[in-house]
Amino acid sequence: MHLPDGLLPAPVCIAGFAVTGLTTWYSLKQINRFSNPTESIPKASLLTAAFFVASSIHIPIPPASVHLILNGLMGTLLGYYAFPAVLIGLFLQAVVFGHGGLTTLGVNAAMMGIPALLAYHLFGWSQRATRHWSTNWSLGSSAFLAGAVGLGLAVLVFLTLTLSFLPAGLDANLERAAILGLALAHIPLMLIEGAFTAILVLFLNRVKPQLLKQT
Amino acid sequence: MRRYELDEFAGLDSLIHRWEPRCKLVGLLSLIFAFAWVENLRLVPLMLGVTAALYLLSRLPLTFLTTRLQYPGLFILAVVGLLPFLSGSTVIWQWGMLSLRQEGIEAMLLIAGRFLAIVVLSLILFGTTPFLNTVRALQSLGLPVILADMLLLSYRYLFEIAAMVTTMQQAMQLRGFRQTGRFPFLPSGKTLRQLAALVGTLLIRSYEQSERLYKAMRLRGYGRRPVGPQSVLPQHALTWRWHLLGLLLSGLTAAGFVLAELQYIS
């Protein structure tokens, strides 16, 4: 789910870089408030690489298969490091593998990174709201919400941008029907991403709870 | 995950290889963004001509280009391949329900041309400088230290972690894991749990490795004193007059494309 080079008009690409620049500045400002900001850099870097690799694992949905985006999970585990991690992951995907692009890096990073930051806050709020529930239910439901909303928002932005800027003279009714159809088709994927995030967070809570401590 | 080494041909000797990394970054990025502005189909052959000339100057082998264009090429084809049949009102050929439209063909050619030019320029930019030098150049142009460190460490461990996940997947398959689902369009709960355990183990291993790495880096003085950005000149570098001339030429070419585009719009 990356927008490739050449697809979007230049003003949209520039607007994407402006949004990404502002969000990166905000994330770095929050990170620099930590007592030792450099301490989490190796953790964030290796987890960035791990997320990058993990997103290539396919989940079978007979007769096809899908790969996960994991931006909600990144927000949950990396906190404010999630946006720089998404930005770096997308940059490496563009220059090493040709997925996405350099001119669309700003748009792609904003599309996946801002939902990751929202997922981080959503995970925290949801955990506080469900603190009276059992640990597993509270953690699982919060992670489900973070995973599903992270993907859902990214898909919504992706479809809107692709269908708004791609076709020259495409029929307006066809465009609306395509947005609606594709958005509906992604609802099951949101549920799968949410369920996967919940199972994974519960697994980490059992095996390595330190990883779930907010960065 | 197929391994694509960025530095594979960074040691070749050409005018582009000898160009100072900061000048190269600014010069080629200005061209890339100027190409993103192009909306006039008549500028596409010119844009592709400039790109081809730079690729020839870089002396990068053709296989470097063809292997790296396979995936993104198929992706862009899938995205714009239907445009000639769906977009526009001027029908130039019809066969039953199927009609080929002029506006759709023009949109497809424009997007494909821009895509090809930008991707090839990106390959020239990152394929002719060692990645470490590119990051140093980015840092000396203002990339924050946190981003530069994260970029280098992620790149350093990316292929190691990819190899780790391949080994883990092989081990799962040897133990009888099969990615199958019982119902159409629904993932099996068991498969989801097993794959979550795989990704979870991968994250835990990476986390533990990062803790060891941080201790090793601290012992070597990481975080105690700020290291200033140092741009590294390539081997057999040209003189500064040539570096700046390259920057000026690419800047003028980029400005030429933007001006031609603005004239076309007005």
pLDDT of residue B237: 65
Show residues of chain B in contact with A61, CB under 8 Å: 181, 185-187
B49 and A CB contact within 8 Å: no
Distance of CA B103 to CAs A168, A215, B87, Å? 7, 51, 6
Q: Is B111 on the interface with A (CB under 8 A)?
A: yes
Query: Confidence band (pLDDT; 50, 70, 90) for A3?
Result: confident
Q: Which of A 169-208 lie inside 8 A of B, CB atoms? A: 169-171, 174, 188, 192, 195-196, 199-200, 203-204, 207-208
Q: Within a domain: residue A120? A: yes
CATH of the domain at A75: 1.10.1760.20
Q: How confident is the model at residue A79 (pLDDT cuts 50, 70, 90)?
A: very high
pLDDT surpassing 70 at residue A171 = no
> pLDDT by residue (tens digit) across A14-53?
999 999 999 999 999 999 998 888 888 899 999 899 988 8
The CA distance from A76 to A211, in Å, is 10
B69 with A38: Cβ contact below 8 A: no
What average pLDDT does the segment A115-137 reach?
Answer: 89
CA distance B221 to A213: 26
pLDDT at A168 over 60: no
Cα–Cα distance for residue pair A82/A60, rounded to 1 Å: 27
| Residues of chain B scoring pLDDT < 70 | 1-4, 179-185, 225-237
- The residue that leads in pLDDT, B27 or A132, is B27
Q: Is A157 a domain residue?
A: yes
Sign of CA dihedral B153, B154, B160, B165: positive
Contact A21/B at CB under 8 A: no
* Per-residue pLDDT, A105: 95
- Which DSSP string corresponds to B120-154? HHHHHHHHSS-HHHHHHHHHHTT--HHHHHHHHHH
Tell me which range, A93-102, A144-153, B89-98, is most confidently predicted by mean pLDDT: A144-153
Asked if residue A4 belongs to a domain, the reply is: no
Which residues span the domain enclosing A155?
Answer: 10-212
Best probe of the A interface among B67, B90, B153, B185, by most A CBs < 10 A, is: B153
More confident residue, A215 or B92: B92
Q: What does residue B257 show for φ and ψ, rounded to 5 degrees?
A: -65, -40
Question: Which is nearest to B142 in space by CA: B229, B74, B247, B81?
Answer: B229
Q: Chain B neighbours among A 105-144 (CB < 8 Å)?
A: none
Question: Average pLDDT for residues A83-99, to the nearest whole number?
Answer: 91
Q: Is residue A5 part of a domain?
A: no
Identify whether A1 is part of a domain. no
Confidence check: pLDDT of A139 > 70: yes
Residue with token string 């000797």: B13
Residue B89: the pLDDT is 74
Per-residue pLDDT tens over the stretch B102-138: 888 888 899 899 999 999 999 999 999 999 999 999 9
Total count of domains within chain A: 1
